[in-house]
Chains A and B, each alone.
Chain A
C-alpha cells in the first residue's frame, strides 16, 4: 500500500502552510482527487483536508456581486435563490454538471481545479507519454482517440480539453479567484497549455482558493448556460456556451454581451470576438449567427473532434438568441 499522511486543517493559514510542502495536496470534496489517485495520476504524500474549515462555504450576494466560498457545495450554489436571480448562467452551469450525488459532495474550489478527462492523461500505467503529467514525455492523445479533445487553445504539446462547466460561466462575467491575499481573474487563473501543459493554474504552492467573486452586471442578470451533449445528464459538454446580454433602452440594441465557450477549449474560453462583433448592433438572427462563427476562429481539430467546430458557433448563436427573446 502507498502510505500518505492526512491532515485536517484547523485554519486557512494552517492549510496553506501545509499545502506549501512538496507532495502535499488539498482535499476538498475528493470527487476529482480520489479518482485521480486511483488511476495513478495523483500521488500525494500528504493530504490537507480543508472541508472542516469554518466559514468557507458562505454564499453572499449583494448589489455588488456574489462571493462564493471555496467550500460551498456545487449543489448549494446551483440552488441558491440569489445566485439564480443574479447569475442564472452560474446556477445553470452547475446543475447541468456531473450528477446530483457529485454535486452534493463537490466544492466550488475543487470544481475550478478539476482536471482534464483526456483518457491518456488518466491512464499513466498504459500511456507513459503525456506532457501534462510528465513534461517532455510527449502527447499520447495526438493520433489517438480525440473526440473529446479541445479545438481551441491547443498546442503541439497538449490538446486536452478543460471540462468544467462552472468556470465557463465565471469567465463570461469576469469573475475573480481569491487566493488569500492575492486575487486573479478567472481568465488569468487558467493557463493555456503552450509548451508547459503541466502548469494549468496561476496558483503557487502554499496558495489556496478561498473564494470566488462574481461582479454584478446587467449581462449576468440576463444570462444562460446552454450545454449540448449526447446524453441528457451526467456527461461533459460536447460544446457549451455561457451568454449574458444587456440591451440599450430600446430593448434591441446590444449594449453589453458576454460569451464564453465550454467543452471545446484547453481552458475556459472567452469569445471576445463575438462580443465585439455584436456590441452596439441590433440583435438580429443572421447577424448573430454570422458573428458566432468568430467563436471558433483559429480552431484546429484532430479528426474525431472536428464536429465541435461546427457545433460550438451554433450553441453560441442559440444562447444569444434565447437571451434576446426573453426581453
Chain B
C-alpha cells in the first residue's frame, strides 16, 4: 500500500546529507492525528455483514446445546456458524508442522479447552443483531473442572522453550560453584499471566471472490498470515491479498493470524458476502495469546570479592493443554553476567487457558525481572553497591557460549545513565532516603538486554526516468514508525531525497518483509531495502559507466557514488550525471532491483549479538499505605545504529513504561473455580496512566557494530521493558527494605 497522503501535508524535513540518523517526525502522523488513517475495522465493502463470536463460559468440557434456532429467528441474523455448518478446511486447524504454527480453534468440534473459546459465530446485517443473536444461543455445557494456576497440574520438562531453545542448559558446575561461594542467595519470584491488550482489537474484514480472498486485518507478519490462510483454505497464497497499513499495537498478539481472524474469513465464505469481525475487549483474553505466569527460583554464589561463582535459574511456567509455547524465562541468565557456572532449566504445566504466545520481550522480560532482582539481592548480600556489583560481574564474552560480543557498549550505558540519574549519592542500605513529605525514596538499577535478531525479508527498488524512486516491501507498522524509518533507509539506499521516494508497505502483494517481531524488523526489512537500493543503483551505474556518452564512462561499478539523484565518479566528483539523464539515454522508463535481508550465518556463528542498556528508577513509597509511585526513570541504551533518534527514543520510552507496568500494574486475575479471568477489561486490567510515569529519559549510547548487518542495526522495540521492571522492583526494596518476590507489587505486599 502507499500511504494515502500527499507530501505537502508533511512538515518540511530540514536536513543535510543522509536520511539515516535524522529525527524525522512520523510520515503517517498527519493521517493518525486527523483520524484519516484507515485501520482494518474502518473498512466497509458493499454488502458487508457483521460477525460476532459466541464464546465459551467454561474453561473445559463440551458444548451440549446451542439454541441456533432462536438466534436465527432474530431479525437481521443471516446465519449462525457452528461445527455443523462451518465450511470445510483443507488443513486440520489442530495440525502443526513448524514451531511458528499454532493450533487454532475454528469450530472443528464441540470441545472446549479454555474460557472465551469460540463456540459459534453469528452473522447478521447489523452489529447489534449479531450481538443479540450471539446472546440468544444460550449455550448449555458439559463442564469439567478447570485446571488453573502454576500448581494446577503435574509439571513436566518441555521439549523446548521459546522457539526451539532447549529447556535445560548448563555450563560449568553450579553446585560446586555454590558450595565454594563465600556468599549465597536463593530466592523465588512469581510473575502473573499478562495479556497483550493492544489498543486496537483483532479485527478482520474478509471478502471472497470465487477462490480469491481479500482481507483487511492487522498483521505483524503478512507473508506468514498469507501462507497460513492459504494452507487452511487450500488456495494459492497469491490468491490472498491482505492489507495491513496500520496496526493499533500488536505486542506479539498479531504476529500469527489468530483463530477469530480466520473465523471471519470462514464466515464470509459461509454467507458468500463480505464479513467484518471485531473482537470485544474481553474476547481478547483467550484466543489471541498471552504471557504465561512464571515462578522462578534463582540461586547465586559469590566469592569474597563479589564475583559470581554460580548462577542457577529455574523457571516453572504454563502452556495450554493443546499446544506448546513455553515462556523461556530462565534463558535470561545466559547472556548478562559472567559466571564460571550457569545452569538454566524450565518445567511447565498444562492449563485450561488459550495458548500463551510471544508478548513484549517473551522470556526476556519475565526472566529479567527475576534475574535483576536476584542480582540485587546478591549485591546486598555482599554488601556491595548494585551498580558496582554488576560491573564486577560484567561479561566480556557471552557467558553461556563464550562467544565474543559483536559489540557491547553496556559500560557506557552504565556510566551515562548513572551520571544523569545521580546514582553516586545513593546510600547502600535501604530506607535511608525519606523525603520531606514523609515518603520513602528508593533507587534501583536494572540491566537491559535483548538479542539482535534477524529474520528473512525481501524488497524491490525502482528508479524512474523522472528521477524519482520507489521502494516496495510488505513491512508492518504497529506504531513503531516503520513508514518513516524504512523510507529513510530507502532514500539512503537509492541516493535520493526522502521526498523523492515513493515507499510502499503494509500489503501482502509486496515483497515479503518478514515479521515485525523479535525487535528484528528494522534490521531485517531495512537490510532488504538497503540491498534492493544497492542492486538498482548497480544497474544504473552499469548503464552509465558502459555508455561512451556518459561523463561516468569507464568509471566501473566501484567507481561511482549515488547521492541526491545523481551518480558521481568517486575519484572525480566534478563528473556526474542525474538518474533521469542516464535512464533517458538508455531509453528506459524505469529499472528495478531486488534485495534480501538475512542474518549472516558466519558472523552469527562467530559472535554473540545483543543490544544492551542500563535503567535507573526512583520510587517513592508511602510507608503507611504501601502505595508505590515511580517518580523518575533514566535509561541508556546501546543498540547499534540509530536510524531515527526520535522514533528510537519513543520505543525506549514505551518499553520502559511497559517495564513499570510489569513491576507494578499488569496482572490477569483468574477465578480459580471457573478458570475465567475476572479483570478482562481496561478499567480493571491496569497499565500505567500518564500520572504513573511523570519523568522518563532515554539516552542513546553510540555503538558501531560491523557484524550484525551492513547497516549496523540491532533492535530497539523490546529492550526497554527488560531492565526497567527489575530497576523498579529494586528501587522498591531500597525504599522500604522489603524485597518484592511477587509481581506486580501491590499495596498489600508492603503494608507490613
Contact = CB atoms under 8 A, between A and B. Distances in A.
Interface in B717-751: 744, 746-748, 751
Contact of B678 (A40, A144, A228): A144
Contacts of B131: 1
B12 interface: no
B135 A315 contact: no
B627 interface: yes
A235 interface: yes
A117 B126 contact: no
B678 A119 contact: yes
A306 B628 CA distance: 19
B684 A231 contact: no
Interface of B: 57, 75-76, 115, 126, 128-129, 131-132, 135, 622, 624-629, 664-665, 669-674, 676, 678-679, 683-684, 686, 688-692, 744, 746-748, 751
B664 A314 contact: no
A303 to B, nearest CB: 11
A40 B628 CA distance: 35
Q: Is the interface of A mostly helix, strand, loop or mixed?
A: loop
Given A1-B128, A126-B674, A230-B747, 17 more contacts: A1-B76, A119-B678, A125-B57, A126-B676, A144-B672, A147-B669, A228-B622, A228-B625, A228-B747, A229-B747, A230-B627, A230-B744, A231-B688, A231-B689, A232-B691, A233-B691, A310-B751
A230 B669 contact: no
25 contacts: A1-B75, A1-B128, A2-B128, A40-B135, A120-B678, A127-B674, A144-B671, A144-B673, A144-B674, A145-B678, A228-B622, A228-B627, A229-B627, A230-B628, A230-B746, A231-B665, A232-B629, A232-B691, A232-B692, A238-B747, A310-B751, A311-B747, A311-B748, A311-B751, A317-B624
A255 interface: no
A318 interface: yes
Contact of A231 (B129, B669, B686): B686
A126 B132 contact: no
Interface string A283-327: 000000000000000000000001100110011011000000000
A147 B684 CA distance: 12
A1 B76 CA distance: 8
Contact of B686 (A230, A311, A317): A230
B439 to A, nearest CB: 12
Contacts of B676: 126
Nearest to A315: B625
A2 B133 CA distance: 10
Contact of B625 (A2, A234, A311): A311
Contacts of A318: 624-625
Interface string A219-246: 0000000001111111100100000000
Nearest to A318: B624
Contacts of A2: 128, 132
A144 B672 CA distance: 7
A114 to B, nearest CB: 12
Nearest to A317: B624
Contacts of B132: 1-2
Point out which of B664, B670, B679 has the most chain A C-beta atoms below 10 A from its C-beta. B679
A176 B665 CA distance: 38
Given A1-B128, A144-B673, A144-B678, A307 B748 contact: yes
A321 to B, nearest CB: 10
Contacts of B748: 306-307, 310-311
A318 B746 CA distance: 20
Nearest to B693: A232
Contact of A145 (B628, B671, B683): B671
Nearest to B138: A125
A318 B747 CA distance: 16
Interface string A157-200: 00000000000000000000000000000000000000000000
The 6 closest A-B pairs by CB, nearest first: A1-B128, A307-B748, A232-B691, A119-B678, A233-B691, A145-B678
Contacts of A125: 57, 135
A317 B135 CA distance: 49
A310 B671 CA distance: 24
A32 to B, nearest CB: 12
B69 to A, nearest CB: 18
Contacts of A145: 669-671, 678-679
A230 B748 CA distance: 10
Contacts of B628: 230
Nearest to A226: B625
Point out which of A40, A234, A306 has the most chain B C-beta atoms below 10 A from its C-beta. A234
Contacts of A1: 75-76, 126, 128-129, 131-132
B751 A307 contact: yes
Contacts of A127: 674
A126 B57 contact: yes
A124 B715 CA distance: 45
A314 B624 contact: yes
A23 B671 CA distance: 32
B693 to A, nearest CB: 9
Interface in A111-160: 117, 119-120, 125-127, 143-145, 147
A266 B127 CA distance: 36
A320 B482 CA distance: 54
A197 B674 CA distance: 24
A234 B687 CA distance: 10
B673 A143 contact: yes
A125 B686 CA distance: 23
B653 to A, nearest CB: 17
A201 B683 CA distance: 25
B559 to A, nearest CB: 62
A189 B280 CA distance: 36
Contacts of A119: 678-679, 684
A147 B73 CA distance: 42
A264 B647 CA distance: 44
Nearest to A99: B689
B674 A117 contact: no
A310 B747 CA distance: 11
B684 A233 contact: no
A311 to B, nearest CB: 6
Point out which of A145, A235, A310, A314 has the most chain B C-beta atoms below 10 A from its C-beta. A145
Contacts of B690: 233
A78 B625 CA distance: 25
Contacts of B746: 230
Contacts of B75: 1
Nearest to B280: A38
A249 B672 CA distance: 57
Contacts of A143: 673
A40 B683 CA distance: 17
B236 to A, nearest CB: 39
Nearest to B625: A228
A315 B624 CA distance: 8
Given A144-B671, A235-B686, A314 B625 contact: yes
Point out which of A1, A119, A120 has the most chain B C-beta atoms below 10 A from its C-beta. A1
B128 A307 contact: no
B665 to A, nearest CB: 6
Contacts of B129: 1
Interface string A72-108: 0000000000000000000000000001000000000
A133 to B, nearest CB: 15
A238 B627 CA distance: 10
A119 B673 CA distance: 14
Contacts of B683: 117
B689 A234 contact: yes
A318 B664 CA distance: 24
Nearest to A2: B132
Contacts of A120: 678
B664 A230 contact: yes
A40 B692 CA distance: 32
